[in-house]
Amino acid sequence: MLKDKKVVVGISGGIAAYKVCEVISRLFKAGAEVRVVLTDSAQRFITPLTVATLSRHAAYTDEDFWDSHQPRPVHIDLGEWSDLILLAPLTANTLAKVSLGLADTLLTNIILASNCPVLAVPAMNTDMWQQLSVQSNWRKLQKDERYHILSPNSGLLACDRRGKGRMSEPTEIIEAIESLIHSRGQEDLRNTKILISAGGTREHIDAVRFIGNPSSGKMGLAIAKAAAYRGAEITLVHAPIEARLLEDLPEMERFPVVSSAEMERSLLDQADQFDWIIMCAAVGDVRSKILHNNKLSKADLPESIELETIPDIAAQLGHKKRADQKLIGFAAQTGEITAPALAKLQRKNLDAIAANSIDLPDSGFGSETNQLVFIDKEGRQATIPMAPKLAIAHHLLDFIKQL
């Protein structure tokens, strides 16, 4: 997603500047061209040599701004060159300058001389962040459509305080950059309400044993992230998912469930409120007829378990959906995937389905990458080759938009 993309990284003077080194390194490894601009105060935390080594290009400082040997003003060159500008860490001082349109440094001049999306990633002490003046500047920045934000996280800060002010983690920043590059900074899903299911349900036999599947929930979370970055209003209904995977989700309403019955109630109760429903969860097909509330001893385990079929949630949604709703399903298959997926689409009255092979390397359950075939109810198909799940998610959203 980042190959040959041009990213300007603007670093201000805060202790979180050290985290940006990992972001620069990841951008370069992903194939992006990176130009780093350091404010004077940023150089008290990391050196131009450090970021130049990581980006494979000389760093820019305010000294370059006043260099009379440049054939063109450097802020004009970099402003016109960039596909995206990252401001991280965005300190209270730089936030104030940017929100007011001031231009007294190389970095602030580059911003004003550019038209590309700007990703603002603040970091500062909790008391500083909560000041009325800082919050006023932050709200002002959010009203400008050029600026896209990653609000600070909460936790232990470098000043030994606990509270809001921690800079977003490198993984979250990279995902936001990838999404903004893909959408060219356009919130093309603004005012679209999307209901997404994710993860694998668990059908308990007793207090500790259950019938389940290997779904990690990563594909559903990728779709939720991609849609949120593009301005959609997201509600996520998810079966058990590792806590670490949920930590860097953008702000959205979440409903954790365990069993298919809980997921069925949550989805059916809310479905009418949404424009799109994307059924990415791996919902169980069968469950034990008898549920033991306590843990059975090994000696008490039955020799056989009587099973019953679980109602098909996607089919229920398909037969009650409004004409203006879009219902998207997923089909995890082995072997030939297109024909079974098309049959599911027609049987469940879906608008489209995403079919993926779970028996191919680096695809399907638990993997970081995937490859899908999208099919709509008119029979049109789009094949997405192996890619990170966030990239797959953006292509899926593009496909749904065209339905």
pLDDT band (50, 70, 90) for residue 9: very high
Residues 248 and 130 occupy one common structural domain = no
Residues 156 and 236 occupy one common structural domain = no
Last residue of a domain, one of 165, 183, 201: 183
Q: pLDDT value at position 128?
A: 94
What stretch of H or E contains 170? helix 170-183
Q: Is the pLDDT of residue 252 over 90?
A: yes
Q: pLDDT value at position 203?
A: 97
Residue 226 is assigned to a structural domain of this protein: yes
Residues 339 and 368 occupy one common structural domain = yes
Residue 142 is assigned to a structural domain of this protein: yes
Q: pLDDT value at position 67?
A: 77
Give the tens place of pLDDT for each residue, 151-208: 998 888 888 888 888 999 999 999 999 999 999 999 999 999 999 999 999 999 999 9
Distance set, CA 58 to CA 34, 170, 201 (Å)? 10, 22, 51
Q: Residue range 207-230: average pLDDT?
A: 96
pLDDT band (50, 70, 90) for residue 138: very high
CA distance 44 to 24: 18
Q: Is the pLDDT of residue 70 over 80?
A: no
Last residue of a domain, one of 146, 163, 183: 183
Query: Among this protein's residues, is 21 annotated catalytic?
Result: no
Residues 295 and 389 occupy one common structural domain = yes
The CATH number of whichever domain residue 230 belongs to comes to 3.40.50.10300
**Which is it for the CA torsion 44, 16, 62, 24, positive or negative?**
positive
Q: pLDDT value at position 66?
A: 81
pLDDT band (50, 70, 90) for residue 71: confident
Q: What is the DSSP string of 34-85?
A: EEEEE-TTGGGTS-HHHHHHHHTS--B-HHHHT-TT-SS-HHHHHHHH-SEE
Residue 1 is assigned to a structural domain of this protein: no
CA distance 8 to 114: 11
Query: Domain containing 179: what range?
Result: 6-183
Q: Residue range 325-351: average pLDDT?
A: 95
Helices 170-183 and 17-29, axial angle in degrees (round to 10):
50
pLDDT band (50, 70, 90) for residue 248: confident
Q: pLDDT value at position 222?
A: 97
Q: Residue range 300-308: average pLDDT?
A: 94
Residues 161 and 308 occupy one common structural domain = no
**Which is it for the CA torsion 357, 361, 365, 370, positive or negative?**
negative
Q: Residue range 49-60: average pLDDT?
A: 97
- Residue 96: exposed, middle, or buried by beta-carbon count in 10 A (0-12, 13-18, 19+)? middle
Residues 231 and 378 occupy one common structural domain = yes
CA distance 9 to 35: 6
Alpha helices per DSSP H over 237-386? 243-246, 260-270, 313-320, 338-348
Q: pLDDT value at position 291?
A: 93
Residues 247 and 382 occupy one common structural domain = yes
Higher pLDDT, 205 or 69: 205
Q: How many domains does the chain have?
A: 2
Last residue of a domain, one of 162, 183, 204: 183
Residues 113 and 219 occupy one common structural domain = no
- 222 near 389, Cβ under 8 Å? yes
Cα 384–chain centre separation = 19
Residues 265 and 305 occupy one common structural domain = yes
Q: pLDDT value at position 370?
A: 93
Q: Compute the half-sphere exposure of residue 260: CA atoms within 13 Å on the CB side of its CA.
A: 21
Residue 121 is assigned to a structural domain of this protein: yes
Q: Which two tokens stand for residue 48?
A: 């131009």
Residues 158 and 203 occupy one common structural domain = no
Residue 61 is assigned to a structural domain of this protein: yes
Q: pLDDT value at position 158?
A: 85
Q: Which of 352, 389, 58, 383 lies closest to 218, judged by CA?
A: 389
Q: What is the value of pTM for the model shown?
A: 0.91
Q: pLDDT value at position 1?
A: 84
Residue 188 is assigned to a structural domain of this protein: no
Residues 139 and 213 occupy one common structural domain = no
Q: Is the pLDDT of residue 69 over 80?
A: no
The CATH number of whichever domain residue 47 belongs to comes to 3.40.50.1950
Q: Is the pLDDT of residue 52 over 90?
A: yes
Q: Compute the half-sphere exposure of residue 323: CA atoms within 13 Å on the CB side of its CA.
A: 0
Residues 396 and 348 occupy one common structural domain = yes
Q: Is the pLDDT of residue 68 over 80?
A: no
